[in-house]
């Protein structure tokens, strides 16, 4: 049970940070108001994403709600099924789960046109990354952490194999 405490805290912190910043964006930014930093490279600009990641398939809010719930259920099931994952892997899974819950909550709020996104990075006229939120950020960080955790585990297993059966 102790091994689940840190990941549970990560889920809660990621979810609270996401929900809090979304409410702050809704309250302080409103539509048609943006705040630029670093000459506009970093921008707070409220938008609603009715599609998937990076705004793909706009207008399919219910489809992405169902897909998100299925993926969340599968990830949560895997988290509890897999007994030998490292702390890094568990924390990565917790980040993804916390972010997924945050975006699912957004899709479930009646009257909300989509997921609240408000962070925009880029240079106008050259390239601006699709607007995102804290949930999206922790999901991406969690995904990279899983890649790192898998790489570390593969390296460890390779070292054990090359050390021979007596080691």
How distant, in Å, are the alpha carbons of 21, 39, 97 from that of 56?
23, 28, 21
- Sorted by where each begins, the domain ranges of the chain are 2-163
- Concerning whether 36 is annotated as a catalytic residue, the answer is no
Ramachandran angles phi, psi of 114, nearest 5°: 175, -170
Residues 18, 45, 106, 117: which is the catalytic one?
Answer: 117
Q: What percent of the chain lies above the pLDDT cut of 90? A: 57
Residues 18, 45, 106, 136: which is the catalytic one?
Answer: 136
Q: Is 114 helix (H, G, I), strand (E, B) or coil?
A: coil
pLDDT digits (tens, 9 = 90+) for 80-108: 888 888 999 999 999 999 999 999 999 99
**pLDDT confidence of residue 164:** 66
Contact 114, 59 (CB under 8 A): no
| Sheet with 34-37, side-by-side order of all strands | 34-37, 42-49, 115-123, 127-128
Q: Which two structure tokens, joined as six digits, stand for 38? A: 């670093």
Sort 25 into a burial class: Cβ within 10 Å, 0-12 / 13-18 / 19+: buried
- pTM of the entire structure? 0.87
**pLDDT confidence of residue 43:** 93
- Concerning whether 27 is annotated as a catalytic residue, the answer is no
pLDDT digits (tens, 9 = 90+) for 31-80: 767 888 998 899 999 999 887 776 677 777 788 889 899 999 999 999 88
pLDDT at 166 over 80: no
**pLDDT confidence of residue 120:** 93
């Amino acid at each position: 049970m102790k091994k689940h405490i840190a990941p549970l805290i990560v889920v809660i912190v990621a979810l609270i940070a996401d929900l809090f910043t979304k409410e702050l964006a809704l309250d302080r930014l409103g539509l048609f108001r943006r705040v630029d930093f670093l000459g506009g490279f970093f921008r707070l600009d409220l938008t609603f994403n009715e599609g998937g990641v990076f705004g793909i398939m706009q207008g399919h809010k219910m489809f992405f709600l169902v897909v998100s719930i299925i993926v969340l259920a599968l990830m949560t099931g895997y988290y509890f099924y897999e007994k030998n994952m490292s702390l890094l892997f568990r924390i990565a899974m917790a980040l993804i789960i916390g972010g997924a819950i945050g975006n699912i909550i957004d899709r479930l709020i009646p009257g909300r046109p989509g997921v609240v996104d408000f962070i925009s990075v880029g240079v106008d006229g050259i390239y601006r990354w699709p607007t995102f939120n804290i949930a999206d950020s922790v999901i991406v960080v969690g995904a990279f952490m899983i890649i790192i955790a898998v790489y570390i585990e593969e390296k460890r297993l390779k070292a054990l194999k090359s050390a021979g059966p007596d080691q």
